[in-house]
Chain A
């Protein structure tokens, strides 16, 4: 695995204009996605994960959304300054996305085959025969039995797991450099979830695609990601390789998250530890650390001054004045 980044994001912010001011939903986040790796972006609902992915693809309607970044470099080009037509050429070709809801992300009135043909015709300039040939290969590759029959069928005739396989086939049809997978397994049950993650891993090995895996589920991260970035209230609070981060979290929020995972153990703990309090609403963020009000280790400095994401140890970063295990 090479360490040069295919996608480099610096200080990406997404805000919304609301009556009486603006609301910062993603607050100056920075991360690198390296060739062939899976970076897990984990956080709870409303922490800005999905907005981040939509902003990267420039799919947010602006207005009402406003976004800015120092730079978002993809394969050496800054996505922010790219004309819309060139951006559209990248989408689905070099930079793909799969969505959370396989039930609604396919056009209900278009056959599966045509929906996979589309990007092949659009981006690779294949004719319809060649595209269909490739479509059948792709359907077989993502593990759909009887590809010819499946290509003729419509989304409502397939199960959720099958539809997500179709979504993966569409997204990877043009062999993108980066795949953004937004909660790709959340709508599926656990056994199917494991199959889909396994499929993504296999395809990643074949194609060398870097995956930005967005999820709220730490189990998915543990299973599928190489590195992880933890988001809290629109900010990245900690990044690091999965094994190290899980073994020794640096940020108190990460630590709280990991402690709140139920475990099957012989000795039953009295109660599952939880993080006290709630996530501050966007637009009401304190001047200091966003987690300070809920943090057991908060010092006066945490409330007064915002910590920035700083490198610590090998390949790890944390935004905390009092890192744990550090």
Chain B
């Protein structure tokens, strides 16, 4: 069964491309201190706006303060990917718990939770992000949590729908007939059975969390300078966009690559884990 999933996954060229992109980006961020040719925070005003590939020791050039762009991209990747992953975990944990409770317990609890989801969905995420970000002192973790706590609604709907279908299955009744408590049924019997859709949702959430971090950093509420994130590198670059466009293009490209990579990965996983293909009994 496991081999089947991997085979189906590799048959999907975009999924493999997504997986490779994500793997390279994560490894690069993880080993940034070893790969980065310069200190990302080191100012050198004598070498401002060095062009990429200028054979000046700065592979991707320098920014308006003479900091090495490649090093900043690598360190920025650590921040952006960390925010993305922490936000994804927050989203998945919150969304799965709420979806599980609503779907399994039903009745009034379901109604209340789902109306709360509807309410949250009424506001565009960017509004919620900015309103909360205005009150909470920005830090890596607070940004990740804010992003996570404003984007779990979709996950909770997915989980609820899966649970509504799963809880009618015979094995749930059989577990109840053995005296299993509702908590045990929810978290030990049902949760593992929705791992596939949850995994797919999780990868897609990483992509949107990276994007959300760049919005709020771009708007100045996110990761604060001099710390680099791809989003605040874009912010810095906007003043020079007409003269030194690569300063904007490079972090923009990283964001695009990450989002694309995770989306392709998620799509590939969705196809590979499709229960209609997996069911061999």
A88, A90, A93, A105: the one within 8 Å of B174 (CB) = A105
A-B CB contact pairs (8 Å), 19 listed: A59-B173, A59-B176, A88-B180, A89-B179, A90-B179, A92-B180, A96-B178, A97-B174, A97-B177, A99-B173, A105-B174, A107-B175, A108-B281, A110-B189, A118-B178, A119-B178, A122-B178, A167-B174, A171-B178
B189 contact set on A, CB distance < 8 A: 107, 110
B181 contact set on A, CB distance < 8 A: 88
B53 to chain A, nearest CB (A): 52
- A108 vs B192: C-alpha distance when bound (angstroms): 10
A170 touching B170 by the CB < 8 A rule?
A: no
B179 touching A119 by the CB < 8 A rule?
A: yes
B193 touching A109 by the CB < 8 A rule?
A: yes
Does A103 count as interface, using CB distance less than 8 angstroms?
Answer: yes
Q: Looking across the interface, which residue of chain B has its beta carbon closest to that of A92?
A: B178
The SS class assigned to the B binding surface is: helix
B281 touching A92 by the CB < 8 A rule?
A: no
Count contacts between A and B, CB distance < 8 Å: 63
B165 to chain A, nearest CB (A): 13
- Given contacts A109-B192, A110-B192, are A99 and B178 in contact (CB under 8 A)? no
Q: Looking across the interface, which residue of chain B has its beta carbon closest to that of A107?
A: B171
A59 touching B175 by the CB < 8 A rule?
A: no
- A251 vs B259: C-alpha distance when bound (angstroms): 73
B280 contact set on A, CB distance < 8 A: 156
Does A293 count as interface, using CB distance less than 8 angstroms?
Answer: no
User: In the complex, which residues 220-242 of chain B have their Cβ closer than 8 Å to any Cβ of chain A?
Assistant: none
A91 touching B178 by the CB < 8 A rule?
A: yes
A156 contact set on B, CB distance < 8 A: 280-281
- A103 vs B174: C-alpha distance when bound (angstroms): 12
Does A32 count as interface, using CB distance less than 8 angstroms?
Answer: no
Chain B 65-97 interface mask (CB, 8 Å, partner A; 1/0): 000000000000000000000000000000000
B193 contact set on A, CB distance < 8 A: 107-109
User: In the complex, which residues 138-171 of chain A have their Cβ closer than 8 Å to any Cβ of chain B?
Assistant: 155-156, 167, 170-171
Beyond the given pairs A91-B176, A96-B178, A110-B189, 6 more chain A to chain B contacts, judged by CB atoms under 8 angstroms and listed by A's residue number, are: A91-B177, A91-B179, A105-B173, A107-B171, A109-B192, A118-B178
A170 touching B178 by the CB < 8 A rule?
A: yes
User: In the complex, which residues 70-128 of chain A have their Cβ closer than 8 Å to any Cβ of chain B?
Assistant: 88-93, 96-97, 99, 101, 103-110, 118-119, 122-123
User: In the complex, which residues 217-262 of chain A have their Cβ closer than 8 Å to any Cβ of chain B?
Assistant: none
Chain B 147-186 interface mask (CB, 8 Å, partner A; 1/0): 0000000000000000000000111011111111100000
- A172 vs B192: C-alpha distance when bound (angstroms): 26
A171 contact set on B, CB distance < 8 A: 178
